[in-house]
Structure formats: structure tokens, C-alpha cells
A and B are shown apart, each in its own frame.
Chain A
Amino acid sequence: MSELDHAQTTRHIRVTVNGVQYERDVLTRTHLGDFLRQDLGLTGTHLGCEHGVCGACTIILDGQPIRSCLMLAVQADGAVIRTIEGLAQADGTLHPVQEAFWDKHGLQCGFCTPGMVTTLAAVLEADPTMDEVAIREAISGNICRCTGYETIVDAALQAASRMRGDH
């Protein structure tokens, strides 16, 4: 089979995204970010570099923040995925990280925001005691050109505090 024939190969996959089960036939060469955006219409996940550095495409897969541009959709067969669209509650109540981004001006153009928010939601849900140094380390794989990061860090600290139940 030639390289271009491979480009036509499909596989059947099942994924759970934001609590909804999907079954789709997907081209094997399609990366997970394109699958979420194009096949499922979940365009909140953004593609900033497609070489795994900028972090804009970060989603939460089986509890871990991962870059959806570095994983093929077929590799996600059976996975449970959360994207930016699935972080707020059904009644619209924002995730503490989303709320804090709004409060602290943690976004300007908003393009890196889905990746920042999903990264921080995943790591703070795992450990809401993270301090500023740990938070900066956690988002060191997410590039923001607008904010200079400080207000993102402040938002993360506020969210961590709220997630610890400090107030």
C-alpha cells in the first residue's frame, strides 16, 4: 500500500467527550485535535502550532492534560475526554479556573485560553495546593503571546484557593 493509500485508511473508534459517547469512522492519519474540531464540531480546542509546543490544543484525556495535536484520533479509542466546552457545569456554572480567568483578566485574545484552562483544571484538580512556582512549571508548555503570563498565574492561584475551599 502506498503512502497515499494509507491516507484513505479509516478505523472505527468510540470516545466519550464531555460526557457524550461518540462512535465515528476516522481517517487513521487524523490527529485528535482535528477530530474533535472537524468530526465532532468542538471548535473550542484550538490548534496553535501542531508540533506540540504551544499547548493551545490541550485537552484532558483520562484525567491527564495532553496535546491533542500530538495524538492520533485512533489512539484515543475508548478514552474519556474533557475539552474546554465540558468544564462548566450543565447549568452554566463556570469551573473555578474559568471563573478566575475572568476575574483576573487571565486572557486577552483568548486563543491560548482553552489550552491554559484545561491544563490548569487538570493539574489543580489533582493538586490544589500548587504554589506559584509549580503553577508556572505546569503551564510552561502553554504559550501566551498576549498576557505575559502574570494574570494567568494569578487566576490559577485564585482557582487553587477556591478549589481547596479556602473561601
Chain B
Amino acid sequence: MGARYFGAAVKRLEDPKLITGRGQYLDDIAMPGVLHVAVVRSPHAHALINAIDASMAREHAGVVAVLTADDLGDMARKPMPMMAPAPMVKTPLTQSPLAHGSVHYVGEAVALVVAESRAVAEDAAAMVMVDYDPQPAMVDLAHALKDGAALANKALQSNLAGTLKGGFGDVAGVFAKAAHVFKETLSLHRGGCHAMECRGVMARPDPSGNRIDIWSSTQSPYMVRRALALCLGMDEASVRVTAPDVGGGFGPKAVVYAEDYAIPMAARHLGRPLKWVEDRGEHFVATTQQRDQLWELEVAADAQGRMLGVRGHCLHDNGAYLPYGVVLPVTSMSSFPGPYALEALEISLDVIYTNMVPNTPVRGAGRPNTCFVLERLADRVARELNLPREEVRRRSFVQSNQFPYETGMKARDGSPVSYDSGDYVQCLDLAVAKFGSDFKARQDKARAEGRYIGMGIASYVEDTGLAPYEGATIRVQPNGKVLLLTGAAAQGQGHKTVFAQIAADQLGITPQDITVEAGDTSLFPLGIGTIASRVAVTGGSSVHMAAVETRAKAIKVASQVLEAQEADLVLEGGFVKVSGTDRQVSLGQLALMLHGNFGQPLPAGIAPGLSATAFYEARQTTFANGTNLCEVEVDIETGAVKILRYVVAHDCGTLINPMLVDGQIRGGVVHGIGNALFERMIYDENGQPQTTNYGEYLLPLATEMPRIEIVHMESPSPRNPIGVKGAGEGGTIPAAACVISAIEDALSPFNVHLASHPVSPQDLVQLVDQG
């Protein structure tokens, strides 16, 4: 049987309801009797709470309750567990569902106002009088470890949460023998999630108090269930968490937030269904952000421009708490050495507490950071040695005959990090060929005309398909239609379509014959979450395994029904057929038979149901790679940057649906362009956020974004049954580095060197004037 839907640009099963306004996002779900919640949030970056007076708010017409940590008891006062424990952190800090005694960032949840409407709840939230004693705020990452620096939390002796160290090889030896050593000081700036749908939580307690239904606009419904069941002391089976249609996630929606705890607690306390929907103002201050890092690095290169070693130190801002442990800085660390076959590496990374909103992965997690610093180093080597930038990369890459390639780094389980497959040089060459060879001539001509165009380049490797597992159940129903159940919910990626494509080929049906249900903990027993470009690998492989098993069962039973050899049977059009004859039995008939009838035993050796459940366990990581090239024009009078072209050569293994992979790449690149040019989350010296609306915080718009030209290379992963690698973040990871590289190239006549992003027009005009 050849693949028919696997690999094809199948139109999405998700779309008909979404394009007609029939989606059911969290705030769209009808819930009789629901009460609405507004959250009272800290206006201070760091303060002690002396007292909370909610008497006026409680008396306001339409208010049902005002709840503080003291009203909800120990559960609400206790710090939330870290989603990924971090034993290396001496003083692990997480926030409580509602603040208790102190607050550590602007936006931290302090109290809930429950009312008959959201408007009334917001009116009353303004009447909750909190007596704060403001404390000095720590917002200056560069000085966080200096003597006299304000402490981000009274529980700390130092703002240092912990230090990560990684590396390999004889670093001193490599740097001593290197023909060239160059030093760079680099920095990256934070941005937000900005899913178009903000977060939201709804909870409906059972009147008996023994069960609770929770809806959360989350990437991780199973993590919410786990957290709530443990916190509330309930069986997991009694806590049902559903991720309905979710309007984008991009990482921050994978966190189990204070509101995920506090809203269900309050619903149980009041015995009423409650709903809280984050508004955009709250999103700017209460949803996690990412990317603030300060780096000092050195690169060693040989006389031919091959990078031999990198050493460096990073200050990593993790904000006020570590909700995700140190997963975020670990992804920065573990993304070294990127695509480069370094002989030696030595990186240390100080994880710092500040009084800003906690940091957790935003699309790419720490990988865009590491890509940015490595690519800046590669560009530096090229400039110093007067080599084409692509040539430094070709010479420094892991070469195609080195796979599987052990980088020298250790994975989290202590095993060696090993790149599985690919050809990084060929992938780069595909990008270069697509870009064309006339750029230098055009650049010279443009400069002669007083126009400044530049070419940027960035390459990357991305670990995808993060452990431990996802799973799927496939069940053929008596009507011949197939139910596919999985824990791996989507936030726009199109999981239903790709899972149906994978299963359809095995079962000889169409994707339209398959109903995929995902993200409802009552429908599938276990799941992890949609993060880290992992679901095509883990979810996709488990769907494949369950479909293969279901197919084998259909063939086994059909061989008895049709009195034929299993080898002669094929699955086609919803039937199992004896090849070359007109004898057949439908999948529906087989399912009906295996559902069983009163008093009639099933065929010997056959378990009930035409169904199978499989879990794919990701015991080895797969690594996607790619190279981006772009062309920009910089107006040296205004500093305006226009992206003229953007080319992506991308290898994420075998493609399940190229249209959807392209969609992931395009959206990811544009997110990275936003990080390079637009997105600026400014806090003042007191930790007050200054950019809390879309007039002040700019997102990429249609008028500024280029077309993204994509070339695919497919190096199947040998580490999963369908050969796939993740594609969710490969667009974002190199994009900011690529744009910055292009701007620097455009402004090379002015000797402009870019060491950070985002860059503003004002920055560029100033740099040109200095040049």
C-alpha cells in the first residue's frame, strides 16, 4: 500500500467550523448559571501586603464574593509546584494561586472578585483596597549579582537562582592553538506570547463536591489535571480538564497558572460555575514572557575560518518565579553547539530572579537565543577573515558523513546528545541557490545609488519530539467511521488533520472518515502537552502505531470471515478485500462483530473492539535543521528596515502535510521578525511595565511582512516509525538572527555592528551617524 494522504497537502478538517464562526473557544462555551471573575492584581513590582480590605467590593450590587488567599485556605496560600523540578536551585520560588503576604511582579494575582457579570466584577475589583508596603525592585539584569543589588524576594540571599554549566573538549587547548579568537558581548530582549486569544479558565463543580469539570485555554490539559488533582486532593478521574478550541499558544499557554488553580478552588468554595477570561491588559502583565539574556562569549577559529570552540557566560532573566523550573535556560544551554562541529565548548548560565513577570518558553524557548549568539559569532569570524558568511558555516558545520553525530553535550538523562540525520551543507546550499547568486552585484549597484541593501544568513539545529510520550486510541465504529482519541491537543497546528492523514492510509479510508478528539482528559487517559515541537513526532508516531495495530486486527479477523490468507487481504475504501476478487467485508461490519452480541463468544484469540491504543515513547531526540537567508533594505535617513525577501531551507524529516509545515514555518519566521524589529516589552526602573497595549507594543503586521520562500529537504529521522521531526519552532529560531545579520550587512559601509535585538529605527540612525 502506498501513501496516499501522508505527505499530501490535505485541506484541514478543523477549518469548516472555524471559518463560519462556529468554533468553541473558552469564552464561547455556554454555561448556565456561570459567574464571572475579575482578578485583582498587584500594581507593584515588589511589595509586602499589610492588609486587604474587600468590604466595599463585597457590598457592591451584583458581587457574589471577593476571595483572597486567606478565604481559600492553605491550598491558595501554598506555593504552586514547579512543573519541572529543579534540584539545582537553592531557593526555588513559585507563586501561590493568590498572593499571600507579598507580591513580586506587577500583575501577580492577589484576589478574585466574583460577580454576575464581568463588568460588575471589574467595577468591584477597583474597590478592593490592598495596603501595600512597596519594596525596592530588581529589574536590572546586568547588576542583579552586584553588591547592593536589590533582592527580588525577601526569601533570597542572592538573586542567583542557580548556575547551569555545560561543555566538552579541551577548551583552553583549543583557544590556545586557534589562529583567531574573537570576543562578543550580546544581548536579547524579551517578548510576549500574544496569542490572539488570551488565556481563560472555567470551572464547574459537581453539586456533590466530588467532581470538577475544568476548561482551560491551555496547551497542557493533562498538566492542569495533574496539578489540580494533587492540589485539591482529588482522584484524577474526578478532575476533567478540557482544552476547547484554543486560539494560539506559542509556549506560555503550557504553563499551569495561578488562575488555573484559583478559579477551580473558588468554584468549589462557592459551589458555583465560574469563568475568568484574561483581557489583553492582563495578558501583558500576567502571561509569561521570554528572551532577556546578556552574553559574553569568545569564539576560536582556525586560519581557514572554521569555528573550533566557543566559551561564554550568560545572565538569564527568569523573572520573579520559576514556574517551569529551569527548563527555559536549559534549552539555551542544550542548544549548543548548534549545527557546528566544535572541538570544545564551555558555557555557564546564571539564572536570575528579577521583579518582572516569570519567564517560560515562548516559541523556540532558549533556542532562538543560542542561535542568535552562535550566528553572531559566525558572522564575526566571516567579517574578520573576509570570508563569505555562508562559507564559515559550511566549513564549521557537522558534515553529512558524521551522522549520527555526538556533539559532546549530555542530554537531561545523562546520555550523549546525538544528531540523528541531515545534511546541513546541502540544506544551506539549497537556500543559497534559491536566493540566487546576483546579490553582491545588486548590492554594489544599490550602494552606488545611495541605497543600502543587505543579505542575512542564519543556520540552526533544533531538538524536536521531546520526551516522554504521547498516545492515541483508534476505534472503528459499527458505522464504519473511525474515532481517533489522543491527549495531544492543538492550538492551531492542525493536529486533527495530520493525525487523520496518518491513520487514513493504514486503514484504507479518507481523513474525512475519521473524527479526532484531542485535549479532553476524560477521553484519553494520559498526555503531556503540545510544546517543544514534539507532537508530530510523539503524537504522530503513536497514531501510526495504533493504526498499524488496528489494521492488523482487521486483517486477522477478516481472514477468518472471508476464509482467505492474511497476505491476500488489502484495506481499501472502508473494506477489507481479498485481492483480485469481489469478496470483501466492511470495517464497520468487523467492528460490529467485535463489539459482540449477547451470548456469542468472540472469535478465539481476538480481544473485543476493532481498536488499538499505542503510546510512542521518545527515548531519543530527533533534530531538525535549516538555513535562512533574507534581504533587507535600510533607509539610513529614517532607520526604517524593509524585508525584501526571505528564503527558508528547512529539513524536518518526512513531511506529513507540506501545506501545514509551510504554515508553521511562515508563522514562526514572522514571530522571529517581530523579535528582531518590533516587539519591545519595556519595564521602568521600578518594574512597571511601560508597553501594555498594541499601540506601545508592536506586533508584525501584514503590510511589513515579506513572502517566505520555502525549500524543503527531507532527511527522515531513523528514530521514529514515520521519519518525522518537529516543525513548530524552526521558523522562529533563526529568524531574528537572520534579519539582524542582513541589517548589519546593509550598513557595513558605516561599520555598524549589531549586538542585540530588537533594533529600532532610532537605534539604526544613531549607529549610522556614529559609523
Residues of chain A at the chain B interface (Cβ within 8 Å): 4, 7, 27, 29-30, 37, 41-51, 53-54, 56, 83-85, 87-88, 94, 98, 101-103, 105, 107-114, 117, 135-137, 139-140, 142-153
Contact = CB atoms under 8 A, between A and B. Distances in A.
Interface in B664-692: 666-671
B703 A136 contact: yes
Interface string B706-717: 011000000000
Given A43-B28, A117-B19, A151-B663, A110 B195 contact: no
B19 A98 contact: yes
B119 interface: yes
SS class, residues of chain B in contact with chain A: loop
Contacts of B667: 108, 145-148
Interface stretch (B40-48, B423-431, B490-498, B617-625): B490-498
A102 B19 contact: yes
Nearest to A4: B123
A48 B248 CA distance: 12
Interface string B218-258: 00000000000000000000000000011111100000000
B666 A147 contact: yes
A154 to B, nearest CB: 9
B759 interface: no
A89 B670 CA distance: 34
Given A7-B120, A102-B15, A147-B663, 15 more contacts: A43-B24, A46-B25, A54-B694, A84-B20, A102-B11, A105-B11, A108-B494, A108-B667, A111-B195, A111-B196, A111-B248, A136-B703, A144-B196, A146-B492, A153-B702
B22 interface: yes
A13 to B, nearest CB: 17
16 contacts: A7-B123, A43-B27, A46-B247, A47-B27, A84-B21, A87-B20, A94-B19, A102-B12, A102-B19, A105-B662, A108-B493, A136-B702, A148-B667, A149-B700, A151-B663, A153-B702
The 3 A-B residue pairs whose C-beta atoms are closest, nearest first, are A44-B21, A111-B247, A109-B492
Contacts of A83: 21
B332 to A, nearest CB: 23
A143 B663 contact: no
B15 A107 contact: yes
Contacts of A105: 11-12, 659-660, 662-663
B481 interface: no
A150 B666 CA distance: 8
A140 B493 CA distance: 23
A105 B279 CA distance: 28
A110 B247 contact: yes
Nearest to B657: A105
B693 interface: yes
B707 A150 contact: yes
Given A109-B246, A111-B195, A153-B702, A49 B694 contact: yes
Nearest to A140: B703
Contacts of B14: 110
A50 B383 CA distance: 47
B127 to A, nearest CB: 10
A54 B703 contact: no
B18 interface: yes
Contacts of B699: 143, 145
A94 B659 CA distance: 21
B19 A49 contact: no
Given A48-B196, A109-B246, A148 B695 contact: no
Contacts of B23: 44, 110-111
Interface in B25-66: 25, 27-28, 30, 60
B708 A113 contact: no
A51 B694 contact: yes
B735 to A, nearest CB: 10
A146 B493 CA distance: 9
B642 interface: no
A83 B669 CA distance: 31
A166 B700 CA distance: 32
Contacts of A145: 194-196, 248, 250, 667, 671, 699
A110 B703 CA distance: 20
A93 to B, nearest CB: 11
Contacts of A140: 701-703
Nearest to B23: A110
B705 A109 contact: no
Nearest to A38: B117
Nearest to A97: B19
A42 B16 CA distance: 17
A45 B23 CA distance: 10
B676 to A, nearest CB: 14
B12 A56 contact: no
